Amino acid sequence: MRIFLLVAILCAAPLARAQQSPNVIYIYADDLGYGDVSCYGATKISTPHIDKLAKQGIRFTNAHSTSATCTPSRYALMTGQYPWRKSGTHILPGDAALIIPTDKTTLPKLFKKAGYTTAIVGKWHLGLGDQVEKNWNEAIKPGPNEVGFDYSFIFPATADRVPTVFMENHTVVALDPADPIAVDYENKVGNDPTGKEHPELLKMQSSPGHGHNNTIVNGIGRIGYMSGGHKARWVDEEVSTTFLAKAKDFIEANQRQPFFLYFALTEPHVPRMPATMFKGKSDLGYRGDAILQLDWTVGEIMKQLEALGIAKNTMIIFTSDNGPVLDDGYQDEAVTKRNGHTPAGPLRGGKYSTFEGGTRVPFIIRWPGKVKPQVSDALVCQVDMLASFSELLNQTIPEGDAPDSENLLNTFMGKAQKGRSALVEQGGTLAIVKGNLKYISPSNGASYNKLTDIETGNAPGPQLYNLREDIGEENNLASQYPERVKEMAAELESIKAGKR
Ligand code: NG6
Ligand code: CA
């Protein structure tokens, strides 16, 4: 009996100590714009659950992803390094190799070192294995589990890219040895019809000029070719609810110990194919319906935390990996049923753009009792998560790791207003924001993308905007303030060269 008591005390002690640290759930929407949720001003769509988070927490008005697309933003979140410092961090195909170094500090590794159980549920898009050629019918390493996640339930790339399968830890879910999976991004594999050959088989047509017309899965043409794995292929309408179920399982299983959950949702990225119960709910087409499903999903997580009695000790961070796009490859009525909705709010540009619409995103932190409800205008970035959590978790970052991450814990907790002194934004070209000013470096790329109907921010000359007076970046001040242009350009060069 005495021995039993001793064992019980020894076991309970670290648990009690560890429980002072909050659980952290980082909810990452995919392509959700600054104006896509009602707490950021949307009037054509209502997002009550996300609004509730904002009301009970801190809502940032000047928070950014590092980049205007997915892979680089996610790379920065994981590593604390600006993605443009490393080649190969552009939008990855579904068969890419892992691009995150396994020997460097990552956000989940930080939590692990602090005694947390860590998981990713959702979209990965950072590559798998150590080369492009891989056997999808065996365990694939390295991946999320090798960069800090104890548990992973993911899809490899994007919802519009093959392979359209879930992976649990290292293996594809529902593998069938009699129907092996092959994936190819250059040449057709197997006999499954493609959207190009058989548009009559599609339940949602691709947009002309975008591609998205290779292998058809669930009536939707994808980017890339795949054969086999017919039982493993997801049904798009079930993707989001599958992720939600896995996230809830993880939370329930770990409710008594500190956990970090990276919940990377797929909404409202294309192909938008919400669960049937959400189809037609928004009046804005499937894109709006997908946003309603995203909001509902956030609400389901909040409800679960309440039911388990851990809402108070759980920090929820809600944000998006880049700005919005309406037509990103499918004729899903996002454009025709836009109905006056402004997905980027007052911002210019959107996904892919160096204008603010590319990287300025909704960003909310709720930690009941610890973070006082408020709105913050501080300039913050997702790349700062790593250094800020290193402070909260009392972990040191080895020299050289996470070089671009700034410790803004007090700002994230609403105790300070101080943001970054400078932020580099990555769209088609690089921009730097410092105080009220934003400088966009010259670029010869097209200034307008006809396919997506988005202004890229590219211009052959320098651009300078005063974001405080001109959040819509309409008035280029470069010729009026040549000295300022010079200073900002020099500062950008110095950050690029690695000096701060
Ligand atoms: C683009 C795709 C787009 C989307 C995007 C990735 C074309 C023409 N467009 O290349 O549909 O998949 O990549 O989005 O192929 S992201 O949010 O993951 O960065
Ligand atoms: Ca994205």
DSSP calls for 346-390: T-S--TT-SSHHHHB--EEEE-TTTS--EEE---EEGGGHHHHHH
Taking a C-beta distance cutoff of 8 angstroms, is the pair 473, 355 a contact?
yes
123, 328, 449: residue to mutate for ligand 1 pocket, most atoms within 8 A of CB: 328
State the total domains in the chain.
2
Q: Is pLDDT at 15 greater than 50 in this prediction? A: no
Q: Does any domain span residue 2?
A: no
Angle at 64 between CA 456 and CA 382, to 5 degrees: 130
pLDDT in tens, 73-96: 999 999 999 999 999 999 999 999
pLDDT at 142: 98
Q: Is pLDDT at 290 greater than 70 in this prediction? A: yes
Sign of the torsion formed by the C-alpha atoms of 386, 388, 389 and 390: positive
Q: What is the mean pLDDT of the chain?
A: 96
Q: Are residues 338 and 453 in the same domain?
A: no
Q: What is the Cα 78 distance to its own chain's centre?
A: 11
Q: Are residues 131 and 175 in the same domain?
A: yes
pLDDT at 19: 45
- Nearest CA, atom 18, ligand 1: 70
Q: Are residues 163 and 262 in the same domain?
A: yes
Average of pLDDT values for 458-473?
Answer: 98
Hey, which residues does 28 pair with through a beta bridge?
264, 319
Taking a C-beta distance cutoff of 8 angstroms, is the pair 161, 223 a contact?
yes
Length of the chain: 500
Q: Is pLDDT at 5 greater than 70 in this prediction? A: no
User: Which atom number of ligand 1 is nearest to the Cα of residue 71?
Assistant: 19
Q: Is the CB of residue 211 below 6 angstroms from any atom belonging to ligand 1? A: yes
269, 451, 452: residue to mutate for ligand 1 pocket, most atoms within 8 A of CB: 269
Domain endpoint, select from 363, 386, 412: 412
- Residue 17 — pLDDT band, cuts 50, 70, 90? very low
Q: Does any domain span residue 11?
A: no
Q: Does any domain span residue 13?
A: no
d(CA 305, CA 313): 9
Quote the percentage of the chain above a pLDDT of 90. Answer: 95
Q: Is pLDDT at 18 greater than 50 in this prediction? A: no
Q: Is the CB of residue 425 below 6 angstroms from any atom belonging to ligand 1? A: no
Q: For residue 480, what are the CA distances in angstroms to 122, 223, 463, 477, 485?
A: 47, 45, 11, 5, 9
CATH number for position 227:
3.40.720.10
- Tell me, in angstroms, the distance from the centre of ligand 1 to residue 223's CA: 9
Q: Is the CB of residue 159 below 6 angstroms from any atom belonging to ligand 1? A: no
d(CA 300, CA 293): 10
Q: Is pLDDT at 126 greater than 60 in this prediction? A: yes
Q: Are residues 115 and 215 in the same domain?
A: yes
pLDDT at 16: 41
- Residue 13 — pLDDT band, cuts 50, 70, 90? very low
Q: Is the CB of residue 93 below 6 angstroms from any atom belonging to ligand 1? A: no
Q: Does any domain span residue 292?
A: yes
- Residue 4 — pLDDT band, cuts 50, 70, 90? low
Taking a C-beta distance cutoff of 8 angstroms, is the pair 34, 344 a contact?
yes
pLDDT at 2: 53
Q: Does any domain span residue 381?
A: yes
Taking a C-beta distance cutoff of 8 angstroms, is the pair 347, 356 a contact?
yes
Domain endpoint, select from 412, 445, 460: 412
pLDDT in tens, 365-422: 999 999 999 999 999 999 999 999 999 999 999 999 999 999 999 999 999 999 999 9
Helix (H, G, I), strand (E, B) or coil at 152: strand
Q: Are residues 456 and 407 in the same domain?
A: no
Domain endpoint, select from 412, 443, 474: 412
Q: Are residues 212 and 352 in the same domain?
A: yes
* Peptide bond just before 271 cis, omega within 30 deg: yes
Residue (of 210, 277, 203, 287) closest to 244 by Cα position? 277
Q: Does any domain span residue 58?
A: yes
Q: Are residues 381 and 479 in the same domain?
A: no
State which residues form the domain around 440. 428-496
Tokens standing for residue 425? 């934004």
d(CA 494, CA 25): 35
Rg (CA), the chain: 22
Q: Are residues 335 and 196 in the same domain?
A: yes
Q: For residue 312, what are the CA distances in angstroms to 2, 11, 135, 401, 412?
A: 35, 24, 44, 32, 17
Residues 6+ apart with CB under 8 A from 40: 34, 59, 345, 362
Q: Are residues 185 and 311 in the same domain?
A: yes
Average of pLDDT values for 234-243?
Answer: 98
Q: Are residues 348 and 462 in the same domain?
A: no
65, 125, 222, 223: residue to mutate for ligand 1 pocket, most atoms within 8 A of CB: 223
Average of pLDDT values for 122-147?
Answer: 98
Q: Does any domain span residue 230?
A: yes
Q: Are residues 354 and 434 in the same domain?
A: no
pLDDT at 20: 66
Taking a C-beta distance cutoff of 8 angstroms, is the pair 100, 126 a contact?
yes
pLDDT in tens, 304-360: 999 999 999 999 999 999 999 999 999 999 999 999 999 999 999 999 999 999 999
Q: Is the CB of residue 125 below 6 angstroms from any atom belonging to ligand 1? A: yes
Q: Is the CB of residue 69 below 6 angstroms from any atom belonging to ligand 1? A: yes
Q: Are residues 236 and 385 in the same domain?
A: yes
d(CA 139, CA 11): 34
CATH number for position 492:
3.30.1120.10
Please report how the helices 385-392 and 70-79 are oriented relative to each other, as an axis angle in degrees rounded to 10: 30
Angle at 153 between CA 126 and CA 260, to 5 degrees: 85
Q: Does any domain span residue 395?
A: yes
